[in-house]
Amino acid sequence: MTALFIVLVNSCKSTESSFDPKDLSYLYNPIKNPFNPRYNIVNVSAKESVFSVKFFATDLFFSEANPEGVPTALVMVTVKLFNLSQGKLLTDTAVYNLSIIKQAGQTEYNYKIPLNVEEGNDYLAEVKILDRLRLQVVQAFLTFNTMSDRNRYNFLARAHFERNEIFDPILHVNEYVNLVYSRGPVDSLYVSYFKPFTGVPDPPAMMLPEKTLDYEAERIAAIPYSDTLPIMLPRPGLYLCSVDRKTKDGFTFLNFGDDFPTMKTPEAMLDPLSYLTTKEEVAAMKVAVKPKAALDEFWIKCGGNIEKSRELIRIYYTRVLYSNYYFTSYKEGWRTERGMIYIIYGPPDKVYKSTEGESWGYKKPVVKSSWGGRYTVSEDYLFFNFKKREGVFSDNDFYLSRGETLVTYWDQAITSWKSGIVFRLDNPEGI
């Protein structure tokens, strides 16, 4: 058997190299991603922005192999700043070598790096973080602008009691925060409340525009501004905080309910089933006497037995969770078009990023051809292209360019899931 295997391997030739330096698929694959820092950028003046990075203690590798014998993580942070308004001109570079000493009870470590900017420009910060002990690298690409002193990049959110910087705008009931405006004194903060967005995208093969937030604020409240004012947002929805009533721009806080980003209750787990069944069936399960029993019945019908159904549930809702983590904008990540593709098709095999958007590739079944006793193996990918959309509420808003992918295998994917098989494009018979 071993000799035969060697002959087959030596007689095959791949048309594609095994390493693709432009592929960033690890960014959306928790198995491939060694650690997960958080990032933020705030314009503190007309000439300076501050890049912040947060490391979780559980992600860092602390070693005592140093002269002091103290648990220390060694991390190098490199930031390259490009001015997109001037054709992606490199305008600033920062390199920081961090020696992070482990502190008892400390769960996170925050660092700030100043960047030189000019007013009236769009910027891209390319971030590369190297764990010098494990020799592992992660990258990030952050866009921001200095077009206005009223937009989201001029605000910093921090926890009211702990006083530490908050790296995402998602809040829960009884969570108190402060909102710090960095560009001078103001008298009032105007808070516009928008009800939660509940739309779900249509299948990718349908040439319909994405459902977007197209309604006005239900209420606008003016409150005296203070950077120590405790803010608590008990009602699910979007809260746009501005320092100018006439300008629809500012910092947005999001409240998606206590179940976000996880799915803790049967009621919360029902909505993401919209990708697998009709909205009428989802509505019927919501009003069932026992929603949990209705949810279990749905998955058992798909899996055929309890054990298989549990595996389907684990995979499906893990993808929902990571969609919320990666793709949340002004709506939960699972409601976005990137979230829809991620949940049904899984983490992409290829990811290419640009300033305009990103492209995801899913490997198709390998095609083998033979000639004269030699085999040629060619690989092909199904690509979904997402375009970045500028908006008031989020800088993480992307939409699917539907006309660029005419064959999506969506029906095949849904049939696979409902037959108890986690769909993979390169393994249509199931895993």
Q: How many CB atoms lie within 10 A of CB 13?
A: 10
Q: Which amino acid is at 149?
A: D
9 has a pLDDT exceeding 90:
no
194 has a pLDDT exceeding 60:
yes
How would residue 406 be classed by pLDDT, with cut points 50, 70 and 90?
Answer: confident
DSSP state of 271: G
- SS3 (DSSP) at 182: coil
pLDDT at 377: 60
Contacts of 226 (CB under 8 A, 6+ apart): none
Mind listing the pLDDT tens digit for each residue in 205-216?
898 888 899 999
Helix axes 306-327, 337-345, angle to 10 degrees: 150
Q: What is the C-alpha separation between 110 and 97, in angstroms, rounded? A: 14
Longest dimension (CA), the chain: 81
Q: How many CB atoms lie within 10 A of CB 314?
A: 10
Instruction: Say if residues 154 and 242 touch (Cβ distance below 8 Å).
Output: no
Q: Which amino acid is at 377?
A: V
Mind listing the pLDDT tens digit for each residue in 410-425?
999 999 999 999 999 8
pLDDT at 6: 31
Mind listing the pLDDT tens digit for each residue in 290-345?
999 999 999 999 999 999 999 999 999 999 999 999 999 999 999 999 999 999 99
* Cα 314 to chain centroid, rounded: 20
pLDDT at 405: 87
Q: Which amino acid is at 114?
A: P
Mind listing the pLDDT tens digit for each residue in 222-260?
999 999 999 999 999 999 999 998 888 999 999 999 889
Q: What is the C-alpha separation between 214 and 73, in angstroms, rounded? A: 47
Burial class (CB in 10 A: 0-12, 13-18, 19+), 422: middle
pLDDT at 33: 83
372 has a pLDDT exceeding 60:
no
Instruction: Say if residues 355 and 143 touch (Cβ distance below 8 Å).
Output: yes
2 has a pLDDT exceeding 50:
no
Helix (DSSP H) and strand (DSSP E) numbers for the chain: 7, 20
pLDDT at 264: 84
Instruction: Say if residues 250 and 151 touch (Cβ distance below 8 Å).
Output: yes
Q: What is the C-alpha separation between 318 and 100, in angstroms, rounded? A: 31
Token pair, residue 326, equals: 């990666």
364 closest CA partner among 346, 352, 382: 382
Which domains does the chain carry? 2-21+262-418 (no CATH), 34-147 (2.60.40.3880), 149-258 (no CATH)
Q: What is the C-alpha separation between 316 and 344, in angstroms, rounded? A: 8
Contacts of 227 (CB under 8 A, 6+ apart): 178, 179, 180, 181
Q: What is the C-alpha separation between 180 and 128, in angstroms, rounded? A: 28
Interval 378-405 mean pLDDT = 92
CA dist list (Å): 267 to 87, 198, 258: 48, 14, 12
Helices (H), 328-408: 337-345
pLDDT at 374: 64
SS3 of 286-334: HCCCCHHHHHHHHHHHHHCCHHHHHHHHHHHHHHHHHHHHHHCCCCCHH
Token pair, residue 92, equals: 């600033």
Helices (H), 2-99: 2-10
Mind listing the pLDDT tens digit for each residue in 112-165?
999 999 999 999 999 999 999 999 999 999 999 999 999 999 999 999 999 999
pLDDT at 17: 44
* Cα 316 to chain centroid, rounded: 17
How would residue 398 be classed by pLDDT, with cut points 50, 70 and 90?
Answer: very high
Mind listing the pLDDT tens digit for each residue in 142-155?
999 999 999 999 99
Instruction: Say if residues 344 and 355 touch (Cβ distance below 8 Å).
Output: no
Mind listing the pLDDT tens digit for each residue in 14-47?
344 456 888 999 999 988 887 899 999 999 999 9
How would residue 269 be classed by pLDDT, with cut points 50, 70 and 90?
Answer: very high
Give 93-148 as a DSSP string.
EEEEEEEEE--TT--EEEEEEEEE--TT-EEEEEEEEEETTTTEEEEEEEEEE-S-
Average pLDDT taken over every residue of the chain? 91
426 has a pLDDT exceeding 90:
no
Mind listing the pLDDT tens digit for each residue in 54-112?
999 999 999 999 999 999 999 999 999 999 999 999 999 999 999 999 999 999 999 99
Q: What is the C-alpha separation between 112 and 39, in angstroms, rounded? A: 10
Cis amide leading into 185 (omega within 30): no
Q: How many CB atoms lie within 10 A of CB 416?
A: 21
Residue with tokens 């990708």: 275
Instruction: Say if residues 253 and 176 touch (Cβ distance below 8 Å).
Output: no
Q: Which amino acid is at 321?
A: L
Interval 199-208 mean pLDDT = 92
